[in-house]
Structure formats: structure tokens, C-alpha cells
């Protein structure tokens, strides 16, 4: 990745190079934002809302989002539902198996901060940001499909702002 980070810096020094890098940035980030393939990963009741959002009435495919069963081919992990202490290593493993660039949405109260019902449970992870870096938090118990769509749009906005030079 080192070379990719340096090349735009050199190109920008040429006259007109800025136009090239910004339009390249635009195309790359726009395409990343408009084809977020999410991993099939649902651990509790939020997964029902996730399925509802993927189904006909709300239709994730409008945003270009389709599910992939394999973490190797997905860009986004929507952590839908309670992550217990026993589940958290699996979540980390799935996240590590995904190929970069990868994004995480924490869906529902349990993944944001341990949840409204399990906040004092010994077995529940108090927020998945202890395990994986989270891009967008969606509160709710469970959040309605509208709020999940809003969260995905927020993630798209965030991705569209990314530049090649920020890649790690």
C-alpha cells in the first residue's frame, strides 16, 4: 500500500495533476460506497430487522448492497444483535478474514453499549467497539429498517469522503 499512498502525492505536483487525483478519488470512493456487500451475520433479534431491510419492502439492493455468505467477498459487517463474550472472538475472526477496505456497522443497543436489557449481564460484550473498529452506530432495540437504511446512507457518506492518501 505504500506505493499507492505516495503516487497521488507525486502526481499532484504536476500542473493539472490535482484534477486527475480528485476525479480518481471520486470514482474509487463512489464505487466503494455504492457496492457495499454485507456479510450474513446476525446474532439476535436485530437480524430479523436486517432481513426485513434486505427483503422486498425496504430493499437493500436499491443502494447496491447484496449479502455475501463468505467474509472474503464482503466489504461490510453489520453486527446485528447481542455479541456475547463467547461470540466476540468469532466476530474478530470474521472481521480479520474480510479483505480491506472493510467497514463495520454496529446495529442495535447491544452492539453499541451492551444493550438495554443485558447491560448488567456477565456474558455480554459491552459494545463491539471493544473488539472491532466501528464506523457507524445505529441505536434502537431493535432499530427499524428505516434507521438501518439511514445508517447505511451515513456510512456511504463517510466512504465518499475517503481519499486514496488516507488508505492504511
Partner 1 sequence: MELANIFKYLYQSLANSGLPQVWVDIIALVAAGLIVFGVLAVIALFLVWWERKVSAHIQQRFGPMRTGWHGVLQTIADAIKLIQKEDITPTNVDRPVFYWAPIIAFVAAFLAYIAIPFGKGLIVSDLNIGILFIIAITTFTIISLLMAGWGSNNKYALLGGMRSAAQVVSYEVPMVVSILPIILFAGTLSMVEIVEAQAKIYQWFIFRVPFGPIAFIIYIIAGTAETNRTPFDLPEAEQELVAGFNVEYSGMKFAMFFLAEFVNMFTVCAIATTLFLGGWQGPFLPSWVWFLGKTLVLVFLLMWFRWTYPRLRVDQLMEFSWKFLVPLSFANLIIAGFMKHSKWFNW
Residues at the interface with partner 1 (CB under 8 A): 27-28, 30-32, 34-35, 40, 56, 59, 61-64, 66, 68-70, 72-73, 75, 97, 99-101
Give the span between the Cα atoms of 145 and 7, in whole angstroms.
41
Contact predicate 53/90, CB 8 Å: no
**Nearest CB to partner 1, comparing residues 61 and 166:** 61
**Nearest CB to partner 1, comparing residues 42 and 101:** 101
**Sign of torsion over alpha carbons 147, 138, 60, 80:** negative
CB of 63 to partner 1, least distance (A): 6
CB of 70 to partner 1, least distance (A): 4
Gyration radius of the chain over CA positions: 18
CB of 31 to partner 1, least distance (A): 4
CB of 97 to partner 1, least distance (A): 8
Give the span between the Cα atoms of 168 and 21, in whole angstroms.
17
Amino acid at each position: 500500500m505504500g506505493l499507492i499512498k505516495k503516487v497521488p502525492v507525486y502526481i499532484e505536483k504536476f500542473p493539472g495533476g490535482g484534477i486527475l487525483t480528485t476525479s480518481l478519488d471520486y470514482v474509487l470512493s463512489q464505487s466503494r460506497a455504492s457496492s457495499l456487500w454485507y456479510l450474513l451475520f446476525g446474532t439476535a433479534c436485530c437480524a430479523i430487522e436486517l432481513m426485513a431491510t434486505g427483503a422486498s419492502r425496504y430493499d437493500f439492493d436499491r443502494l447496491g448492497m447484496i449479502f455475501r455468505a463468505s467474509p472474503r467477498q464482503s466489504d461490510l459487517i453489520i453486527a446485528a444483535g447481542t455479541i456475547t463474550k463467547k461470540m466476540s472472538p468469532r466476530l474478530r475472526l470474521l472481521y480479520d478474514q474480510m479483505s480491506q477496505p472493510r467497514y463495520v456497522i454496529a446495529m442495535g443497543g447491544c452492539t453499541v453499549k451492551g444493550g438495554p436489557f443485558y447491560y448488567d449481564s456477565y456474558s455480554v460484550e459491552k459494545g463491539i467497539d471493544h473488539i472491532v473498529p466501528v464506523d457507524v452506530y445505529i441505536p434502537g432495540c431493535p432499530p427499524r429498517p428505516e434507521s438501518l437504511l439511514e445508517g447505511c446512507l451515513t456510512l456511504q457518506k463517510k466512504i465518499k469522503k475517503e481519499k486514496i492518501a488516507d488508505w492504511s
